[in-house]
Amino acid sequence: MRSTMQDVPLLISRILTHGSTIHGKSQVTTWTGESEPQRRSFAEIGSRAAQLAHALRDLGIGEGDATGTLMWNNAEHVEAYLAIPSMGAVLHTLNLRLPPEQLVWIVNHAANRVIIANGSVLPLLAPLLPRLPTVEHVVVTGPGDRAPLAGAAVQVHEYEELTSGRPTTFDWPQLDERAAAALCYTSGTTGDPKGVVYSHRSVYLHSMQVNMAESMGLTDKDTTLVVVPQFHVNAWGLPHATFMTGVNMLMPDRFLQPGPLAEMIESERPSHAAAVPTIWQGLLAEVSARPRDLTSLHSVTIGGAACPPALMEAYDKLGVRLCQAWGMTEMSPLGTTSNPPGGLSDEEGWPYRVKQGRFPAAVEARLIGPDGSVLPWDGESAGELEVRGPWVAAAYYGGAHTSGEEQLVRPDEKFSEDGWLRTGDVGNISSEGYLTLTDRAKDVIKSGGEWISSVDLENALMAHPEVAEAAVVAVPDDRWGERPLATVVLKEGATADYAALKAFLARTVAKWQLPERWAVIQEVPKTSVGKFDKKVIRKRYADGELDVTKV
């Protein structure tokens, strides 16, 4: 027996059409840092997306062409998010915080012919253009000096001039829902960045999951402050998900410092926000020094790194609930969210909130032990997490070849023989399906045949009232193989010494796990997406650049 249901493709153009009509009054508000914020309705976004599609087509962009965006979070970037895949091209978000060498590699690997860029990032882009042979056009939008592009061997266009006067409707093509819609590269912490290509189908299904009550659960009554960059895994899927359900978007543009973020929240009163823990640590310090009204902000989705429980407790006192989520670039990125089961008090729900959360129905998970066996979900057995699902990558993009064929790359260390994604995360899963990550496989400390979680030590240290940040890494040890090195950033005026910090840790950490090596640093090095960059600390230690004290 065959189904009697219609086979209608799941396309981003459907999200665009639905959002700009059914939710046409919803708004994208872009912070300007000076005057009144720029406000644009979803209906206007839809019309402007059509105009952008016409302009890109006239520049020679067709189906399957990767089109780059080097932009902050703003309304024009949302227009590109919707127009480029809807017309059949591929949205390629460029990480403007990557080192220039990696940015050059990514643009060339994807063979971008057009790059849409904010004027404020032209000093970054312009010097790279002589090394980007495929780039023919640069489309510039927003404030910023255009002088860096003078003499560039590309055609330069102003976004508004290029799009204005064009038709406000576009005959969006009926694409294969499995066709490429967006391309995002991993941050390349080891080796060259790896390209992940999302399909229309995967983006559509992922957007539906983001909107589920068990995930972010937002409606057209909400406004979300999208701090997570649009170049970081499609801003965790928020631009597409919000257009699907009419959630208003507040976009910070380049104003990502704690002061402007506090002002945005107080002025525009978003009900939800999303960003990595370091953003919320900075905002907490800002509002502690200069109190601001954050009462509109009921919930925050926090991911990219484990959230210290002390940070969650601090925001609880402000009436802001932080909800951990876990995922990866290869997962679009949503993997889990840490909403407690129903019927529990706040106290009873706390142990669930400090975990990474439960998997949605579409994401399957398993734990693999050191011997390759599949481990039970008992909340104790620890192994490497592997996942699969309709928005989980099955390979990496290998780049376009002269034959016109594309190569898919499936490195053994990232994909199992039977097709599961090897996440590189180590942890356990409870019988209720709650994931607890104890470390990255590359960061776990192997001491005397036992594992020490660097994340557990960091969270315990960051609960100390005089510690702003802490990062723990494994360093060689003649007796035990590896031992933890604790690097800490003290709060301004703090006086805590290493012995006091070690004694504080001893209250909750087993004696054999306590670090003997300590160093105070000015700040924890971060990756381009705000995660702790532990390889930098390990190198600084190996090069003798840290002032290490044994306690």
Catalytic residues: 186, 330, 446, 451
Contact 392, 365 (CB under 8 A): no
* Phi-psi region at 406: left, alpha or beta (left = phi > 0; alpha = psi -120 to 50): beta
How far is Cα 338 from Cα 349, in angstroms, rounded to an integer? 10
Tokens, residue 409: 């790359």
User: Are the C-beta atoms of 366 and 336 separated by less than 8 Å?
Assistant: no
Contact 242, 218 (CB under 8 A): yes
CA distances, 253 to each of 78, 299, 313 (Å): 11, 21, 29
What does the radius of gyration of the chain's CA atoms come to, in whole angstroms? 24
CA angle 306/228/267 to nearest 5° reads 115
Provide the phi-psi class of 140: left if phi over 0, else alpha when psi is between -120 and 50, else beta.
beta
Question: Pick from 3, 33, 43: which is nearest to 142 by CA?
Answer: 33
Q: Which of 142, 547, 182 lies closest to 397, judged by CA?
A: 182
CA distance 327 to 529: 13
Q: Are 218 and 240 in contact (CB under 8 A)?
A: no
Residues in the chain: 551
The DSSP letter of residue 128 is G
Give one DSSP letter per residue of 309-341, joined into a string. Answer: HHHHHHHHHTT-EEEEEEE-GGGSSEEEE-PPP
Q: Which residues, including other chains, have CB under 8 Å from residue 156's CB and lie 6 or more apart? A: 137, 138, 140, 146, 149
With beta carbons less than 8 A apart as the criterion, state whether 87 and 65 touch: no
In the chain, how many H helices and how many E strands? 16, 29
